[in-house]
Structure 1
Amino acid sequence: MEYKEAVRRLAPCGLGCSRCADYAGGEIRKLSVRLVELLNGYLRVARVKEAIKPVFTGYPQFEEVLKSLTQAACSGCRGDNVLCPIECVAGVCSKEKGVDFCFQCEESPCSKKIDTQIQERWLRFNLRMKEIGVEDFYQEQSRLPRY
C-alpha cells in the first residue's frame, strides 16, 4: 500500500477510519449490503425457526441493525462528511501543523486534550507508526479487528 492511500484510510490519531462500521466505502458496509441481499425474505424462515431456536425471535431487530449498517456515510476524518462520534483534536491540530499524523509533529506527544476513549490507542498507534512506518502500520492494523 502506498503512503497516500494509507493516509486516506487512517485518521491523524491512527484509528483506521476505513475499517469503521460508519465508513461509506468500508468493508463492513459492503458486506452488510451483500448480507441484506442474501437474506432477502429470510424473516419468513426466521419465524419458522423461532419454535426450535428462540434466538430467532430477535431476527427483526437484527435485520434492522444490519440495514442500518448499509447506510454508512462517513468519509473518514480527512473527508468532507465526518460523522465520527468521537470528538478528537488530532484532526484539526494535524491540519494546523501541516502533518498527516500526530507523531510527525515536533510537539508529539503533546499535552492537548485527546478524547479519553482513544487516548491510550492514540499514543500506542502513533508510536508504532513512527517505529515501523505508516504503510506497514496500516497493513498490520488491517489484519486486526477494528473494535
Structure 2
Amino acid sequence: MTYDDVVECLAHCGLDCSRCADYENGEIRQLGVKLLESLGNYKTLAKMKSDGNNVFDGYEQFDAVLKAFSQASCSGCRGDHVICPVTTCSAKNCQIEKKVNFCFECDEYPCDKQFSGRLRDRWLSINDRMKEIGAVAYYHEQVKQPRY
C-alpha cells in the first residue's frame, strides 16, 4: 500500500475511515449487504424458531441494525458526504489550510486546536505513532486491530 492509498483510507486525524461502520465502501457495509442477501427471508424462520429459542425474538431488531450497516453512506473524512459522529473535528479544515495530509506533518503539531479530553489523547497517540513509524507503517499496524 502506498502513501497515497493510506491518505485515502485514513482521516486527517489518523482514524481509519475505511474500516468505519458508516463508510460507504467499507468492509462492514459489504459484509452487511452480503449477509442480508444470504439470509433472504430468514425473518419467517426466525419467527418459527423463537418458539423454542427466545434469542430469535430479537431478530427484527438485528435485521434493522444489519440493514443500517448495509446502507452506510459516509464518504470518509476526505470526501464530501461526511457523517462522522466527531462533529467538532477541525482537523480537516486545518490540514487543507496547512497543506498537509495528517496532523503530525504540520509544523505546529501538536497544537491546541484539535479535540479535548479522551479524543485529544487518542488523536495524540495516533499522530505520535504515525510520526514515529510513518503513515504507511502505521496503517499496516492499526489495520490488524479491531476498529472499535
Q: TM-score range by the shorter chain?
A: over 0.9
Using the alignment, how far apart are the partners of 2:134 and 2:14 within structure 1?
12
Query: 4+ residue runs of structure 1 moved beyond 3 angstroms?
Result: none
Tell whether the 8 Å contact from 1:86 to 1:115 is kept in structure 2 after alignment.
no
Comparing 116-125 with 105-114, which one deviates more in the overlay?
Answer: 116-125
Tell whether the 8 Å contact from 2:9 to 2:16 is kept in structure 1 after alignment.
yes
Instruction: Please name the residue that 1:98 is paired with.
Output: 99
Instruction: Please name the residue that 2:52 is paired with.
Output: 52
Instruction: Please name the residue that 2:83 is paired with.
Output: 83
TM (norm. structure 2) is 0.95
Write the letter of the residue equivalent to 2:71. Q
TM (norm. structure 1) is 0.96
Instruction: Please name the residue that 1:61 is paired with.
Output: 61
Using the alignment, how far apart are the partners of 2:77 and 2:41 within structure 1?
36
Instruction: Please name the residue that 1:43 is paired with.
Output: 43
Tell whether the 8 Å contact from 2:24 to 2:72 is kept in structure 1 after alignment.
yes
Tell whether the 8 Å contact from 1:32 to 1:70 is kept in structure 2 after alignment.
yes
Using the alignment, how far apart are the partners of 2:116 and 2:107 within structure 1?
21
Question: Aligned-pair distance for 1:117?
Answer: 5.4
Tell whether the 8 Å contact from 1:12 to 1:91 is kept in structure 2 after alignment.
yes
Instruction: Please name the residue that 2:143 is paired with.
Output: 142
Show CA shifts across 1:13-54 (max 9, x none).
110000001100000000000000011111111112112221
Q: Work out the number of aligned pairs and report it.
A: 147
Is it true that 1:126 corresponds to 2:127 in the alignment?
yes
Question: RMSD between aligned alpha carbons?
Answer: 1.1
Tell whether the 8 Å contact from 2:43 to 2:59 is kept in structure 1 after alignment.
yes
Query: Residues 111, 6 of structure 1: CA spacing in aligned structure 2 closer, same or farther, 3 A cutoff?
Result: same
Tell whether the 8 Å contact from 2:104 to 2:127 is kept in structure 1 after alignment.
yes
Query: Residues 105, 77 of structure 1: CA spacing in aligned structure 2 closer, same or farther, 3 A cutoff?
Result: same
Show CA shifts across 1:54-101 (max 9, x none).
111000110011011111111100111111121201111111111100
Question: Aligned-pair distance for 1:113?
Answer: 4.1
Tell whether the 8 Å contact from 1:11 to 1:17 is kept in structure 2 after alignment.
yes
| Gaps in structure 2 of 5+ consecutive residues | none
Using the alignment, how far apart are the partners of 2:84 and 2:38 within structure 1?
29
